[in-house]
Amino acid sequence: MSKENKIGPKISRLRELRGMKQEALATALGVSQQTVSNIERSAEIEEDLLAQVSQILGVTPDAIRNFDEEAVFNYFNTFNDNSGAGAYSTNPTFTFNPIEKLLEAHEENKKLYERLLEAEKSKVELLERLLNNK
């Protein structure tokens, strides 16, 4: 199976474009970083896992399945094309608005980091209570 047809590398690239580390995705999924690494090397993943990953990344499962990095860059290159023909293309070759999705992903990342911070605060409080009880 070619790299283009593998779902794992597409997940990896979308995660990287979101500026998210494997550890953050792992925490959001409730799995280990190694599990995320295995997912990102997989040709296929289960639909329910794909749905969870897509929600965390702020895209649809179809956007992951159909992700084509070359098409994304070609779309953005049309804005730098001075020929005029493709400069204002209304038919992008991918299934989501990348700027809108990046803004949504930023908000999702912010919420994720806030949840991670709360979890760490809870751990610290628990450790402090344990130390005070000794």
pLDDT per residue as tens digits for the range 15-26: 988 889 999 999
Which residues, 6+ apart, have CB-to-CB distance to 38 below 8 Å? Answer: none
**Which of 20, 11, 33 has the alpha carbon at shortest distance from 3?**
11
CB atoms within 10 A of CB 9: 17
Name the region of 60 (left: φ>0; alpha: ψ -120 to 50; beta: rest): beta
pLDDT digit string (tens) for 29-50? 999 999 999 999 999 999 999 9
Q: How many domains does the chain have?
A: 1
- Reduced to 3 states (helix: H, G, I; strand: E, B; else coil), residue 55 is helix
Structural domain of 8: 3-132
Residues 121 and 18: their CA atoms lie apart, in Å, by: 25
CATH code where residue 39 lies: 1.10.260.40
